[in-house]
Amino acid sequence: MFEAAARLGSFTRAADELAVTESAVCRQIAGLEARLGVPLFHRIRKRIVLTPAGGTYAEEVRERLDQIEQVTLDVMAQRPRGRAIELAIGPTFASQWLIPRLPLLARALPDLTLHLSARTEAFELSDTAFDAAIYYGEGLWPGTQGERILQEGPSVPVCSPALLGRRKRLDLDQLLELPLLHLNTRLRAWGDWLAAAGAALPPQALRGPRYDLYTMLAQAAAAGIGVALIPRILITEELAQGRLVVPLATLPAQIDNRKAYYFVHRRGLPADDKVLQLRDWLLEHGAEHRA
């Protein structure tokens, strides 16, 4: 804090730069002056000016900080140079599946840097700076190579444990008494799921809250807003931690979903390219849902 105040000539601007309060800066400077036993600043109305001792101290501090910065840069320059991959990915799959597994990826491929950008629509990979993409669909994009990394699999009804009250499990009729939450892009999901269970969607259920993303849907369900229908692979952490539960004792037969998550990249990559190493890692960890 002293270096910032000395450089900027203002406690206020030092506080802004460091994202702390001005009073915090003042306390730190006062404590430093008390330990050194000399004043470092003259307070002149709303300005601060370094004392002779403060000026000398500031020069020494800057010199030490410059040395630390240089040593840091030297150490960073000795790191193995890795490859950065620009990956386009759906926001829900990124936040609910990939990001929780990034520590595993870092251990498996320590010299790989992964830059994630959210994309919700199909696009021409060759027209962009992206190295690869992960998307939800029914096949490979034209002009790309890739693999199906995992099926979306069955959706299950989930809610907050608090929504059940003292009940641990519900039957289907009891479930339909609760608010049903909907995904804007799959408004028929509840109707199709209930039809497979031999039941009909109550007309009033269509008036339940709607959300754009499964992440929003999962958060709303965990907050006790209602019951959501979500692919199990997207809520493994929430289920494991008990933030969401499956309220039905028996689940109906599941609807066959041909869509899956695909990883695609440009054609003609060398066999040792990091993009292909990322693909192999995704296939390995996607296999846990195929077992």
CATH 3.30.70.520: does it fit domain 155-241?
no
What pLDDT does 291 receive? Answer: 46
What pLDDT does 73 receive? Answer: 65
Residues of the chain above pLDDT 70, percent: 92
Q: Looking at the chain, how many residues does it have?
A: 291
Over 60: is that where the pLDDT of 13 sits?
yes
- Summarised one tens digit per residue, pLDDT across range 77-117 is 554 456 789 999 999 999 999 999 999 999 999 989 899 99
What pLDDT does 241 receive? Answer: 92
Lowest mean pLDDT among 63-72, 128-137, 142-151, 253-262: 63-72
Phi/psi of residue 44, each to 5°?
-120, 100
Burial class of residue 81 (count of CB atoms within 10 Å of its CB; 0-12, 13-18, 19+): exposed
- Summarised one tens digit per residue, pLDDT across range 242-275 is 999 999 987 776 766 778 999 999 887 776 688 9
Phi/psi of residue 190, each to 5°?
-65, -45
What pLDDT does 256 receive? Answer: 66
Over 60: is that where the pLDDT of 190 sits?
yes
CATH topology of domain 83-152+258-289: D-Maltodextrin-Binding Protein; domain 2 (3.40.190)
What pLDDT does 243 receive? Answer: 93
CA dihedral 131, 133, 138, 144 (to 10 degrees): 0
In the predicted model, what is the mean pLDDT of the chain? Answer: 86
Burial class of residue 142 (count of CB atoms within 10 Å of its CB; 0-12, 13-18, 19+): exposed
Select the more confidently predicted residue: 211 or 65: 211
Confidence class for position 74, pLDDT limits 50, 70, 90: low
- Summarised one tens digit per residue, pLDDT across range 158-185 is 999 999 888 888 888 889 999 999 999 8
Q: The pTM is what?
A: 0.66
Over 50: is that where the pLDDT of 57 sits?
yes
Rounded (10°) angle between helices 11-18 and 22-36: 110
What pLDDT does 71 receive? Answer: 66
What pLDDT does 280 receive? Answer: 94
CA dihedral 147, 120, 179, 239 (to 10 degrees): 40
Q: What is the mean pLDDT of residues 210-235?
A: 93
What pLDDT does 235 receive? Answer: 93
Residues 147/263, Cβ–Cβ less than 8 Å: yes
CATH topology of domain 2-77: Arc Repressor Mutant, subunit A (1.10.10)
What pLDDT does 109 receive? Answer: 92
CA separation for the pair 95, 97 (Å, rounded): 6
Residues 119/89, Cβ–Cβ less than 8 Å: yes
Lowest mean pLDDT among 25-29, 99-103, 137-141, 287-291: 287-291
What pLDDT does 266 receive? Answer: 83
- Domain pair 83-152+258-289 / 155-241, same fold: yes
Residues 266/144, Cβ–Cβ less than 8 Å: yes
Domain coordinates in residue numbering, the chain: 2-77, 83-152+258-289, 155-241
What pLDDT does 272 receive? Answer: 66
CA separation for the pair 54, 71 (Å, rounded): 26
